Structure 1
């Protein structure tokens, strides 16, 4: 139990990792009334997030409520006790910056997805896949493999959004295909992103923090793909081996709208701009995404001049974005940020001491925490704590933070994105039904890392 509590304390240093540097000394409020109240509010709110399917309440509602309310309680406590209100203001500003980077990144990615849906890109892709006579099981493998190899380039969130859209255009009713298919895409996108320096926000953070070179992350490929394949193999057993109802003689081949290929190209360039903005220009990744959005708007203007008003409207695509996904991210990151500010997460680096857990077990625990909270703030906390450990251990924590986020449906940006694309289908409960397959793949990934890095010294 002590070890579990120690690992849970790692959650605290998470979401506001960059915020702790600002201002003066932050008082420890953990065992004050506001500290205990905030922890209780977080646990209760998290319960309703997890039980979304049971209570039929969108996960964004409890997340947004606890995230905003916890910080307001902290501000009230500071005001009542005459503490430095500038600390609250500064920490809130840091948190807003952190959330904004994710928020606008998601916003642009979703806009491109909705634009491609409007232009018939996914209907055409569905036709190309289903018209080949593939069974549901083959389609399961095709979408998963595509997600695994697209994710290292396009990032795991964008990949998951694209492939889940393909999934829902193939089949809208059959849950025995949609649920394992959605889990497969999330696991594949997260595993694929783990071995690329810019395939996941967590790997991007580790790379920019100097914890490994570009080539170092590529050595995680064996652990990533073997763990994914194990999970996919187990999941595939519950997918129907029947062919979707599709009569090629009756189905008209869908045509993409004029300009669709250019929009696809702009989408790829937008991801490239995001990576270059962060790596070369030292701007937030969302800066490149917003630049890509501006190009999409300019191109939409050109299409309007050529084809008329009804052809393509970017603002129409924006109106179809799953705002609940964005609100969920805001709420959950704000809530974890409040726990950090109060001091619940201040013991993060203690678990890395050999007398407690040591680096290997702590890094394995990071994967489970990534599933509970979200892998971005978890990795942020580890990097801020910067415990003394070998290069191989930094590769392990990169692997576990990325892959471990798949253990729970909202443990990663990819999972949250797919939940938004398949509401009522891909839920917390549906995911947990098959979470044992992900756990087995997670354990296999760690075992492959151990053999490769610790026993053979390959990539260490």
Structure 2
């Protein structure tokens, strides 16, 4: 425990916590606060600190924090939907689609990842990857590209599965952080690559206004990718040759493609044609599971993975639900400094409400914001759903101190990438955001709920 405390102090985790608290000042004078900080933020901060310190008991800490915050809201402040039990039920009614979608994706992609692993493709990849550190770097590039059109959870799990194979299941925590960063960075410039960019697209932001996030994400990849690949090569060199007797199971490959196609197709159809129903039912999570079940006659999923996957998923959902109850009513004035700071906040705070608030407020450069809230969550393992999903495959990653110490290059890469983008592209804020008439008429979606 003492060594964890030393690592956390050395890596300045308290600065991230302070950024979380002071980025969102209290706006309701009557709400109980300590030194101007709403009590809910303090309780949430203590929960995150508990997760950081007691990384072998993260589920218990998260559930305890959720219980405490819920009880406080029930007895003292109430919820956006009202006070007391009725307000809590109203809050759950609003959040259940997001939570159920996330649960379906986490559990479904855990099974998808095993299908991919048993397809034997990871075992023959050493024939295609370079034999030195450049092989690890090319794997990160692959994850980055996959995430531009896949969900970042799927891209991270595929990358982690391949890494477990080519590095003989000895994967450095710094390299795990790089896999998460590659998955989040790859999705930051694509409106189908990340939930936050998809939210922008639904609300009327043009895909072209998000694309230049790659002006930051690509330099960031080049920086953390080289350092992480060298870390990994020194820790456990890449397998030089394909495993003896490895033969591709094309049936499992077809299942993986089928599930991903179902997820992508559902996401595109719902968000472009039936967006008014997107908050009525968890279509994305349901599509993944329907595809999984339909593929069972071909190959059965590895159901034994479910207990651990459920534990990891409940942990993430607990933190997401805690974050949804925070009194976040307003962001600071839109500027490049705010967008830059939101990257650090998103390392400990759910980036979906941050994006929703930014869309309501307007005045942001959407590419810069997409990079900030998308890539920023890579700096801590529970800062993004991709990190939590990958930690289900590699439980040793569930240490904030180890993640920050070994994955320092991700934080530095975030800073480098952001300022490269400012230098090359500049800051081009849009007027306070309004949906275009066509989109408003066809898809009357409200993100401010």
Normalising by structure 2, report the TM-score. 0.80
Q: Bigger CA drift: 281-290 or 361-370? A: 281-290
CA apart distance, 1:31 = 3.2
Give the match for residue 162 of structure 2: 166
Q: Distance in 2 between matches of 1:78 and 1:459?
A: 35
Q: Which residue in the other structure is 2:247 paired with?
A: 255
CA distance in 2, matches of 1:411, 1:130: 31
Question: Relative to structure 2, which stretch is displaced further, 3-12 or 153-162?
Answer: 3-12
Contact conserved, 2:116 with 2:158, CA < 8 A, in 1? no
Q: Secondary structure at the match of 1:371?
A: coil
Counterparts of 1:213-228 in structure 2 under 5 Å? Answer: 213-228=206-221
* Contact 2:20–2:348, Cα closer than 8 Å, also in 1: no
Q: CA deviation at 1:131?
A: 4.4
Q: Which of these residues, 418, 424, 427, is aligned with residue 399 of structure 2? A: 427
Q: Is the 8 A contact 1:140 1:184 kept in 2?
A: no
Equivalent in the alignment of 1:116: 116
Partner in structure 2 of residue 448 of structure 1 = 420
Are the counterparts in 2 of residues 171 and 178 from structure 1 also a CA contact under 8 Å? no
Distance 1:170 1:334 in 2: 36
Q: Name the SS for the 1:197 alignment partner.
A: coil
2:289 aligned with 1:293? yes
With 314-323 and 192-201 compared, the bigger mean Cα shift is at: 314-323
CA distance in 2, matches of 1:419, 1:11: 29
Q: Call closer, same or farther: CA 1:98–1:254 in 2, change over 3 Å.
A: same
Structure 1 residue 153, shift from structure 2 partner: 0.6
Deviations 1:90-130 (A, max 9, x none): 1232233332222223232223223334xx22xx2232223
Distance 1:132 1:364 in 2: 37
The aligned length equals 407
1:186 to 180, 189, 193: 180
Cα pair 1:274 1:289 within 8 Å, conserved? no
CA distance in 1, matches of 2:232, 2:306: 34
2: CA distance, partners of 1:11 / 1:333: 17
Q: Rg bigger for which structure? A: 1
- Residues 259 and 291 of structure 2 are in contact (CA less than 8 Å); yes or no, is this contact kept in structure 1? no
For residue 4 of structure 1, report the CA deviation from its aligned partner: 8.9
| Structure-2 residue corresponding to 1:202 | 196
Deviation at 1:51, TM superposition (A): 1.9
| Counterparts of 2:290 and 2:315, CA distance in 1 | 26
In structure 2, distance between residues paired with 1:140 and 1:156: 19
Contact map agreement 2:75 2:84 (CA 8 A) in 1: no
1:272 lines up with 2:264 in the alignment: yes
The equivalent of 1:240 in structure 2 is 233
TM-score normalized by structure 1?
0.78
Contact 1:127 1:253 (C-alpha < 8 Å) held by counterparts: no
Residues 200-248 of structure 1, C-alpha deviation per residue, up to 9 Å, x if partnerless?
11111122122x2122222222221112211212333433367546676
Q: CA deviation at 1:287?
A: 0.9
**Are positions 1:397 and 2:373 aligned together?**
no
Residues 108, 290 of structure 1: 8 Å contact kept: no
Q: Deviations over 1:152-178 (max 9, x none)?
A: 11121110011111112223553xx43
* 1:46 Cα offset (Å): 1.3
Tell me if the contact between 2:59 and 2:315 (Cα under 8 Å) persists in the aligned partners.
yes
Over residues 348-389 of structure 1, what are the superposed CA-to-partner deviations in whole Å (9 max), with x where a residue is unaligned? 33x21xxxxx52211111101001223223223323xx2241
SS of the residue aligned with 1:135? Answer: coil
The separation in 2 between residues aligned to 1:366 and 1:458, in whole angstroms, is 16
1:298 to 1:317, Cα distance in 2 relative to 1, 3 A: farther
Distance (whole Å) between structure 1 residues aligned to residue 312 and residue 25 of structure 2: 23
| Match of residue 363 from structure 1 | 339
SS at match of 2:420: helix
C-alpha deviations, 1:51-81, integer Å up to 9, x for none?
Answer: 244xx32x222112211332133223479xx
Higher RCO structure (Cα 8 Å, ≥6 apart): 1
In structure 1, C-alpha distance between the alignment counterparts of 2:77 and 2:129, rounded to whole Å = 64
- Residue of structure 2 equivalent to 1:49: 51
Cα RMSD, aligned residues only: 3.4
- Residue 321 of structure 2 is matched in structure 1 by 334
Give the match's secondary structure for 2:233: coil
Deviation, structure 1 residue 144: 0.2
What SS is found at the alignment partner of 1:339? Answer: coil
Structure 2: gaps (5+ residues):
1-13, 432-449
Per the alignment, residue 439 of structure 1 pairs with: 411
Secondary structure of 1:454's counterpart equals coil
Three-state SS of the structure 2 residue aligned to 1:195 is coil
Segments of structure 1 that go 5 or more residues without pairing to the other structure are 14-25, 304-311, 353-357
Q: Offset of 1:47 from its aligned partner?
A: 1.3
Q: 1:426 to 1:145 in 2, by over 3 A?
A: farther
